[in-house]
């Protein structure tokens, strides 16, 4: 990696590629992408997040969804509802799912990612203000 040697270099770096794998910034080529953000902090892992992430990946592979990818984030604070996953799609508000089981994880991939339907039972009402 090349070192950034000025404030402008930092700004340019940010504008180029930053946050793209996680869909924190979105370009034209990202329009059809989906990111599943699984909470994999200690609390999430203790609740079984790794198994859920594996299940999501298996299902994505099985269905050959080339536009979907998984990232691991930290704790979102909703520890009571772990394991949880956030479904990010460009231009749409995120959907947060909690209390995940392997079955629910497979449901999310099939229903939400393929058919665009919510998996109602696992939707978490998330109310936080990030100013």
Give the contact letters, 37-56, x = binds to another protein (CB under 8 A), - = no: x-x-xxx-x-----------
Reading across the β-sheet that carries 34-39, which strands appear in turn?
Answer: 68-73, 34-39, 85-88, 95-97
**Among residues 58, 72, 101, 111, which is the contact residue for another protein, using CB under 8 A?**
72
3-class secondary structure, 66 = coil
Q: Does 91 bind another protein (CB under 8 A)?
A: no
Taking CB under 8 A as the criterion, the residue among 6, 64, 66, 103 binding another protein is 6
| Helix or strand run (H / E) with residue 34 | strand 34-39
Say whether residue 110 binds another protein (CB under 8 A): no
- DSSP states along 36-56: EEEE-SHHHHHTTHHHHHHHH
For binding to another protein (CB under 8 A), which residues are involved? 1, 3-7, 9-10, 13-14, 17-22, 24-25, 37, 39, 41-43, 45, 71-81, 86, 93, 126-131
């Amino acid at each position: 990696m090349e070192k950034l040697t000025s404030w402008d270099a930092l700004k340019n770096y940010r504008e180029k590629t930053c946050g793209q794998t996680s869909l924190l910034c979105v370009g034209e080529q990202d329009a059809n992408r989906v990111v599943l953000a699984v909470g994999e902090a200690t609390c999430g892992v203790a609740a079984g997040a790794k198994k859920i992430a594996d299940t999501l990946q298996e299902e994505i592979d099985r269905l050959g969804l080339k536009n979907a990818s998984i990232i691991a984030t930290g704790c979102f604070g909703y520890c009571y509802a772990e394991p949880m996953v956030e479904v990010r799609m460009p231009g749409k508000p995120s959907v947060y799912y909690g209390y995940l089981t392997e079955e629910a994880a497979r449901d999310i991939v099939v229903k939400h990612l393929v058919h665009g339907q919510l998996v109602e039972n696992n939707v978490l009402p998330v109310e936080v203000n990030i100013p």
